[in-house]
Amino acid sequence: MIRLFDISLQLNGFPIKKAKTELDKIVHFSEEEFASFLQNKKAEIVDFHLKNNLFYKELAGNTTAQNWENLPILNKQNLQKPLEERLSKGYSKKSIYLNKTSGSSGTPFVFAKDKYSHALTWASNIMRFGWFGIDFNHSYQARFYGIPMDFIGYQKERFKDFLSHRYRFPVFDLSDEVLEKFLQKFKTKKFDYLNGYTSSIVLFAKYLEQKNIVIIEICPTLKACFVTSEMLFESDKKLLEKQFGIPIISEYGASELDLIAFENPKGEWQVNAETLFVEILDENNNPVPHGTEGKIVITSLFNKANPFIRYEIGDIGILDEKSTPQKPILKKLIGRTNDVAVLPSGKKSPGLTFYYVTKSIIEDDGNVKEFIIKQTKLDTFEIEYISENELVSEQIQKIKEAIDLYLEPNLNFTFTRKTVLERTNRGKLKQFKSYL
């Protein structure tokens, strides 16, 4: 069969064959070989940017890779300046992969990857999806994502879908009428896997539950479902497993870097140690022991076009105690650092705490389909939700009691029933947002 996906990468200047060969070599290193590879790549990427990137040279001053822990922590604000000021010597807009972050962190920016680095990103994707029998050249994807709505952007994305052997289900309208159309497609098309935003796929599963349908029974070619970009709660994972009848795999990535962690067949969230170096640091930028939470800081070991060295991605996580340099395991992803609610008592609580508390109660009767929480003042929160029926006072009282118990008393909540919830321009649902 024609390997259309690989060919399209090659034609766009991304040397996928070379990248696959290098990745395979890294994966098969012994422990000693890997330790040497990691040390060399860290030194090499820092030295390259100190010599060829004025932006990074000014940031790092006289620090070198030999004093790794003294190298500056790069943040998203640092990167919010024209790309021309951040590009390394020898690279131009014509010779790079250019994209922009989604802005879900509140700090969007344009970034560049050299073409070999981007080919390695694809090689890494191909390898990990391959763990579950998915081949990008031949496997047919049911894609739950946003899509640009301007004519050129729309057509471009549809053409990429064709080359990538995928059928796109746009997620901006997820009403029952639209979900019914999605369902009909699964009856007529031989999909191999689902891939897309967690909240959209969960909503589709809720629709299937309502109709008492298990998707594998009407689309027996399905092998797996991959969810990304938003948190997957344990209760939602169980729902997906029940309504799909296939393995549910979580991935965690960032467009400016790569896949950061990907659930392996043993159910571990395996960190990508082949193209990235991941650190967990405390507030003073010191490494924390495995098993301790801290901010996630990542170095892209291959990207020469744009420095991502000790880059604070804006997330908080914990590495498992059994992690090794060659096989780090992400034990828990706690959420984004800017998704923290500050309460009147001075207590700080991850925004997802509210989501957990309200989710369990709201979903008891299956009435509420989706909801988001906004903090508008220190003691004031708005919950917007989509449901068949308005929440009744008993349900609201239960939520308030749970919040008193898990967070603190005397917080004010308003509940607004909506027909549509606000999503990002890419179709992501941001579950908690602080406006403080």
Q: Where are the beta strands (DSSP E) in 211-325?
A: 224-228, 248-254, 258-263, 269-271, 276-281, 293-300, 311-319
Instruction: Name, in order, each residue with C-beta under 8 angstroms of 96's C-beta and a sequence gap of 6 or more.
Output: 87, 112, 113, 114, 115, 305, 306
Distances (CA, A) of 386 to 174, 242, 422, 428: 11, 23, 11, 16
Distance CA 308, CA 278 (A): 12
Instruction: Let me know: does 306 contact 86? Beta carbons within 8 Å.
Output: yes
Whether the pTM exceeds 0.85: the reply is no
Confidence (pLDDT) at 50: 96
105: tokens are 């962190």
Confidence (pLDDT) at 387: 84
Confidence (pLDDT) at 30: 97
Confidence (pLDDT) at 107: 57
Confidence (pLDDT) at 365: 56
Confidence (pLDDT) at 230: 75
**What is residue 84's DSSP assignment?**
G
For the chain (436 residues), the mean pLDDT of every run of 10, in chain order, is 83 94 98 97 97 95 91 89 91 88 61 96 96 94 83 85 88 84 96 92 93 97 92 89 97 91 95 98 96 96 97 92 97 72 79 70 68 90 88 87 84 90 73 83
Vertex 364: Cα angle to 363 and 366 (nearest 5): 60
Conformation bin of residue 380: beta by default, left when phi > 0, alpha when psi is -120 to 50:
beta
CA 243 to chain centre: 23
